[in-house]
Amino acid sequence: MKFILGKKLEMTQLFQDDGTVVPVTKIQAGPCVVTQVKNAGKDGYAAVQFGYGAKRAKNINKSLRGHADGLGNFQYLREMRVKDENKEKVELKRGQIIDVSSFILGDVVDAIGASKGLGFQGVVKRHHFHGSPGSHGHKDQLRHSGSVGAKGPAHVFKGTRMGGHMGDERVTMKNLSIAKVDADNNILYVRGAVPGARNGLVIIKGEGEMTIAESKKSEVRSEEKETEKITNDELRIKNKGEEQAAEENIEEKEQKKEEVAAI
């Protein structure tokens, strides 16, 4: 199983080699950082938690800052379940980076996002009611809901279709295909429509093996080691120079003493 977090940018079109036009959704996918790896023994289930996006440190509470200490300040943290029996070749560890290199042209994926929020809507738009006739004694009732129940029960049953909040719900679009992978800019072109508005969070997941990029921690440690090595070399050179200068001063003093004694 492979998955990645991304941001919906826009819809566009791609021209194939035979000249046909393909409608695609442009998604800024990753890079995502593994912030936590859960197992069945300790947490009761197996899952991997990813961090994506940037956020100001002052807008993140201390517990989350401590949770992602040394990895970054993430705007989104999302968890993906994994199966224990499905042992992949690459084991995920905290601090590893996931990018679009896990996906290739033609991959079949599912896109998960939050649909556009439409606010409070009536029954005609929300539930596709027909509405009342425009004549024959119907006054100002064209888009009304009408009766909401019988008189006997003396209450409205749960689930009755009425006006209310519409949209902003989790929606999954299945069996979409990857039309293009732009590895240099971390962009996935997914064939078809993806739920949500622009700049909304999108989860892309599909079957296959996960490709792990270089670990953040290892990069930082390697840079620190190189810097430390250079600093240590400079100190050694400096110390050697100081030792040589001190020896030369001692030799000069001894020569002066010998000259004074000879006189």
**Percent of the chain's residues with pLDDT above 70:** 86
pTM for this predicted structure: 0.71
pLDDT of residue 87: 44
- Confidence at 137, pLDDT banded by 50, 70, 90: confident
Which CATH architecture describes the domain 2-117+169-213?
Beta Barrel (2.40)
Give Cα separations from 170 to 114, 117, 174 (angstroms): 5, 11, 13
- Picking from 95, 68, 92, 67, the residue whose alpha carbon sits closest to that of residue 81 is 92
pLDDT of residue 233: 64
Annotated domain spans of the chain: 2-117+169-213, 120-166, 215-263
**pLDDT tens digits for 204-260?**
988 887 777 766 544 444 455 555 555 666 667 666 767 777 777 777 777 777 777
**pLDDT tens digits for 167-194?**
999 999 999 999 999 888 999 999 999 9
Contact at 8 Å (CB) between 113 and 8?
A: yes
- Confidence at 132, pLDDT banded by 50, 70, 90: confident
Residue with tokens 């996935």: 188
Cα dihedral across residues 188, 190, 195, 198: positive or negative: positive
